[in-house]
Structure 1
Amino acid sequence: MNKLILSTAVLAMTAGAALAQDVVRMGTEGAYPPYNFINDAGKPDGFEIELGNELCKRAELTCEWVTNDWDSIIPNLTSGNYDTIMAGMSITDERDEVIDFTQNYYPPTASAYAALDEGADLMGGVVAAQVNTIQSAYVAESGATLLEFATGDETVAAVMSGEADAVFADLDFLAPRVEENAELMWAGEQVPLGGGIGMGVRESDTELKAKFDAAITAMKEDGTLNAMLKKWFGDDTQTYE
């Protein structure tokens, strides 16, 4: 009960905090290219960084980027360490019970398996996935032995080292790795998961959410979001009509 009261108090204190301060802090992982990564200059970069900067400009907000490990990215949003999450986060009912989401800025896409053998045992073998993702939840229910890692790159490394039979991850994350590595290949069929990728915000920050929703809508309507999606994910990526 005391924990519940404390949590409620913290949420009340952070209500509207993002708009009560001069800078909106944008949380990202910095380890999930091409969505987000750290460039050679040591700065956050990628699709979501470019998109987030444009959304902040259109919403007339001053924003700064904060990097945070994936496995604690939601708790650190709700505790007020930053004001948004843009980290390749799929919109799910489970997450929506804890935080709120803008409309999606990346349409629902497929997840996929990659392995060293296209005949790898995907349902009964060992499958690597990033911790606390929709992919890890899927593997846990599939019958396979789930091997979780903190980052996406570690899941691929587990397959390359023979620690895992396959990796299950977002298709757009795996595609360049399969293309660049002659030993890695697609296995099984693609699996549609989630409701697209959106920006996470605290449930109390309704005004901030509305500002970003309006900016995302404007980018969809004028075609700039589609252009950005093709820039980062290729001409064959899903776009908005």
Structure 2
Amino acid sequence: MLYLHGCSAGSVALRLAKDIAENNLGTRVLVVCVEATMPVFRAPDVTQLDALVATTLFGDGAGAAIIGASPINSVERPIFHMISASQATLPGTENTVGIKVSEIGQHFKMSAELPKMVGDNIKRCLAETLEPFGLGCDWNGLFWVAHPGGRAILDSYQAALGLDPEKLAASRRVLRDHGNMIGATVFFVLDEMWCRRQTGNEEERENCEWGVILGLGPGITIEMMVLRAAGSERQE
């Protein structure tokens, strides 16, 4: 059970499930993430503007995935291989994003500086995560499962990494259609990305072999996971 991880909760759960599956032969792990925003809801209060922002930004959602290692090829068809997971915490950001529980529900703290702080640091964090796999900094050569914390967050990713607009199309579509469902959102983006890999529409089709999951949590904590698309023509 994971609580108060914010938007990174889904990524954290996938990382832990990966560890369990790889260290217990034959295990299949069902990851379920459910988010309900009712604990955040309260009457408007000019001294608690963060609560008003949270009420307007966040939505309810639920997602699930089955994680395993050494797939049985005759009956199982993996969609993505989870190659490596890592986490980075930006120094001095303890008060930038936070969640706490009180007698009247959950309290979210979200600084307006969050997009800039993420934009200033995301390139360095990703380079350290991808370097062991020889992927370098060809950001447009990857597919992106970026948690859409909000439009400003996605804009900061795009600007900092020089991403082509279509690279964040899956994240932007989920944000447009469903909003920010906190931890559960990453499952929606994964599903949208999988659909885009299957579509015959060349404008939406995503053919990159390697990709990245991105999620932000209190701290600021950046959760990152390197993915490899199953069934790639170059994959052994």
Which bin holds the TM-score, normalised by the shorter protein?
under 0.3
Output the TM-score relative to the length of structure 2. 0.25
Using CA pairs below 8 Å that are at least 6 residues apart, which structure has the higher relative contact order? 2
